Structure 1
Amino acid sequence: MANDIKIGVLVSGNGTNLQSIIDACTRGGLPGRVSCVVSNKADAYALERARNADIPALHLDHRAYTGREAFDEALVATLREFQVDLVVLAGFMRIITPVLLDAFPMAIMNIHPALLPAFPGLHAQRQALEYGAKVAGCTVHFVDSGCDTGPIIMQAAVPVLEGDTEDTLSARIQKEEHRIYPEAIRLYAEGRLTLQGRRVLVTR
């Protein structure tokens, strides 16, 4: 795979992981650039982060489409317009359909605030605390048709401390997210990720 890949980032909220990716590209630690940022919410602060970095920031309102597939068709068209090689989900609060998956096979990444396969879905940090887990963390994975079930690329562990709240645990996990997400994208950009069954192998 050629270096300097074009990354399309899908967002719905604040965009701290987007910022970590932008910063990594700016530092030169990631052989690629964010070519567009797309949000289903007009007021997502992630769009402002994109504008501050002179990256095209687009709003596609999912409510304007007849269904999930129609919305994903619009997403694919937008990503194609910007010649995106890798789609990165960064707090994108939408279930994606085969329309998007088929357009970018094994080229969609997500980050989840838990050590998958434990605690998939929403409120992963709360799930970990309620379960009494001693270790939490985050996972970068390729996206498939399931809920947080895709092949795991990279993980980072975070201890669950006595007295942790959902907010304090989330803050520590987020620091690791900002570290490993750009790293996983870098490995992809360098063509160093190989899929064997469910296993993602990193080549030297």
Structure 2
Amino acid sequence: MKKIKLFSIVAAFVAAFAFTSCNTDDSDGFQWPTPQESQALFSQIQGMHNGGILFPGSVGTTDAEKFDKDSVTTYCYVTPSDSMLTVRQVEVSKFAKYFSDATLKAEVEKLPAQDLKIKLLPYNAAQQLFITATQDITYTNADGKKVQIQFYSGLNNYSLAYIGTKKTNNKKELGVYITPGRVLVDGQTKANALKSYVYGGYPQAYYAMLEMEL
């Protein structure tokens, strides 16, 4: 598992996107996709699509590969002009099972469905990979405090998106990891707010998976 970096400000991601658009060479030989390659990637995913979100069926155990499919069809659209994937009316209350903090869990269970916005940065043209930055889920609790559920963003195993083939029907899809990583209450990190599990001796975060049909 790669070292995880959590970027709390999506603006940092946008700055990185602007920087890499004209700086493709890297000292270790890595090259960011060219503007033409980035355009080719977005041409495969742009527009309106159907999809669904898979949530772990057994948060709190070591088996994170058992997923329950969101019972409601999710509509998604991608706009290459701002590199934004919008997932319409996500039942964010389903993230409640990720929380070890009982108060936060109860609050999230009551949240209404809302749009989820995810920035996409083309990362590897050959492997058809994107880096993602999911915007916070934000609400005000009963005490009038601002609560932000933040997601893993940047270059790590928890915030990638890929163009691939769906196993169940062999159709092309965009798969997107959506992984809660931190909770802020009035700007302060809430310790031990989220559940995790151990695999290979290392703590792992529970994630959700968006499957968007192309």
TM-score (norm 2): 0.25
Rg larger in structure: 2
Structure showing the higher helix proportion among its residues: 1
Structure showing the higher strand proportion among its residues: 2
TM-score (norm 1): 0.26
